[in-house]
C-alpha cells in the first residue's frame, strides 16, 4: 500500500465513494463521455496501458470515481471555472478533513464558522479580514474525533492543513469517520 506516499485526489475519491456506500467492493458505473462534468478527464486510447483494470473503458480508471465523488457532493474539484478535478494532484490534510466530515455528517453538512482555531498553524482570517474556509472543517473533524491520531501534532497543536496527506493518514481519517458513523455520531 505504501502508507507514507502522498494520496492523490483520485485515490481519495475511491476511498470516499466506497466509504459513503459502506461497501469495499463498490464500483461506480462508467460515466458516458458526453456527460462528464470535469474538463480534465479525456477519453484515452483503448490500447493505452494507463487504464489497467478496465481494458474496455475509453476513460481513465479514475473518471468514474471522480465523477461520482462530485455527484455525491464531496468535492467540486480543484477548479470551478473551468470544472477540473486534478485527479493526479495531491490532497491536503485540510481537504481530507473536509471530505471525512462530509462522510460522517452527509455531503450537504456545513459546520458552523469559527472565530479561532485550536491549532496554531490554522489561519482563521484572510488578509482582508474575511474567514478562510479551513478552520470550521478542521475544528469539526477534531470535535468528531477524526484527526487526533491521524498525523496531527496534538502536543504542539499543529494540524499542517496545507501539507499533502499520506495514504496512511487518509485511511486513518476514513476509519474514524466510519467508526463514528456506526456509533451514531453522524
Query: What are the boundaries of each domain within the chain?
Result: 1-90, 92-186
| Spans of the chain below 70 pLDDT | 1, 44-57, 186
Q: Please state the separation of Cα 50 from the chain's center in Å.
A: 23
C-alpha torsion angle, residues 41, 24, 176, 173 (rounded to 10): -30
CA-nearest of 146, 137, 139 to 180 is 146
pLDDT at 145: 96
- Provide the mean pLDDT of the chain: 89
* Residue 43 in grid coordinates: 477519453
Tell me the chain's radius of gyration from C-alpha atoms.
Answer: 17
Q: Report d(CA 166, CA 129) in Å as an integer.
A: 32
Q: Supply the pLDDT for residue 186.
A: 66
DSSP assignments along the chain, one per residue: --TTSBPBHHHHHHHHHHHHHT-TT--PPPPPGGG-S-TT-----TT-GGGTT-TT-SS-TTHHHHHHHHHHTS---SBTTTTB--TTSB-BHHHHHHHHHHHHH-TT--PPP-SS-SSTT---B-TTSPBPSHHHHHHHHHHTTSSTTTT-BTTTTB--TTSBPBHHHHHHHHHHHHHHHHTT--
At 59 the pLDDT is 86
Q: Return the pLDDT at 51.
A: 47
Sequence length of the chain is 186
- To which residue does cell 463498490 refer? 26
What's residue 148's pLDDT? 95
pLDDT tens digits for 58-93? 788 999 999 999 999 988 889 989 999 999 999 999
pTM of the model: 0.85
Closest CA to 99 of 70, 126, 131, 132: 70
pLDDT (0 to 100) of residue 76: 87
Amino acid at each position: 500500500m505504501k502508507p507514507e506516499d502522498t494520496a492523490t485526489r483520485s485515490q481519495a475519491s475511491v476511498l470516499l465513494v466506497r466509504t459513503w456506500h459502506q461497501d469495499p467492493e463498490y464500483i461506480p458505473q462508467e460515466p458516458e463521455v458526453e456527460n462528464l462534468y470535469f474538463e480534465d478527464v479525456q477519453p484515452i486510447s483503448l490500447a493505452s496501458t494507463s487504464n489497467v483494470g478496465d481494458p474496455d473503458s475509453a476513460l481513465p480508471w479514475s473518471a468514474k470515481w471522480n465523477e461520482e465523488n462530485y455527484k455525491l457532493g464531496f468535492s467540486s474539484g480543484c477548479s470551478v471555472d473551468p470544472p477540473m478535478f486534478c485527479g493526479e494532484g495531491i490532497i491536503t490534510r485540510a481537504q481530507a478533513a473536509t471530505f471525512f466530515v462530509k462522510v460522517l455528517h452527509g455531503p450537504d453538512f456545513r459546520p458552523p464558522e469559527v472565530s479561532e482555531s485550536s491549532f496554531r498553524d490554522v489561519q482563521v482570517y484572510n488578509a482582508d479580514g474575511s474567514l478562510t474556509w479551513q478552520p470550521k472543517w478542521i475544528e469539526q473533524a477534531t470535535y468528531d474525533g477524526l484527526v487526533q491520531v491521524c498525523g496531527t501534532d496534538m502536543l504542539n497543536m499543529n494540524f499542517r492543513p496545507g501539507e499533502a496527506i499520506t495514504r496512511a493518514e487518509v485511511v486513518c481519517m476514513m476509519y474514524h469517520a466510519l467508526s463514528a458513523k456506526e456509533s451514531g455520531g453522524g
